[in-house]
Amino acid sequence: MSENGWHAICQNTDIDEGGMLPFEVGNFQVALYKVNGEIFATDNVCTHGMALLTDGFLDDDVVECPLHGGMFNVKTGKALCEPVDCDVKVYKTRQVDDRIEVLLSE
């Protein structure tokens, strides 16, 4: 379902605390993270190479890429260490009832 770019992706209860899940929505590969009960979303593809961040490790609000260990802050998308030097795109999220929606735009 899409409304003004907002896409319903899953239920809040689908994601464990401290966990992350991958989703494909049209051309978008989206990673959802739950950090201290809050949901955050980024592009799921690492900016350094072809790896999915959700195959890596989430520690608090930092995700580590499984391929070369690059790290990103999932709240801001900021690249935190080598070899990543390009931030990952973040998407706005909102909760409607128990539904998690993500605002996807180019």
Q: Is 55 helix (H, G, I), strand (E, B) or coil?
A: helix
Nearest residue to 79 via CA among 53, 100, 54: 53
CB of residue 24 to ligand FES, shortest distance in Å: 19
Q: What token pair was written down for 39?
A: 């949901």
Count Cβ atoms below 10 Å from residue 35 Cβ, excluding itself.
Answer: 19
Tell me if 34 contacts ligand FES by CB under 6 A.
no
Tell me if 102 contacts ligand FES by CB under 6 A.
no
Question: Which of 2, 68, 85, 98 is in the footprint of ligand FES by CB under 6 A?
Answer: 68
Of 68 and 94, nearer to ligand FES (C-beta) is 68
Task: Count helices and strands (H / E) in the chain.
Answer: 0, 10
Of 14 and 66, nearer to ligand FES (C-beta) is 66
Instruction: Kindly report whether the peptide bond that precedes residue 83 is cis, defined as omega within 30 degrees of 0.
Output: yes
Question: Which of 57, 67, 76, 87 is in the footprint of ligand FES by CB under 6 A?
Answer: 67
Which residues bind to ligand FES, rule: CB under 6 A?
A: 46, 48-49, 51, 65, 67-68, 70, 83-84
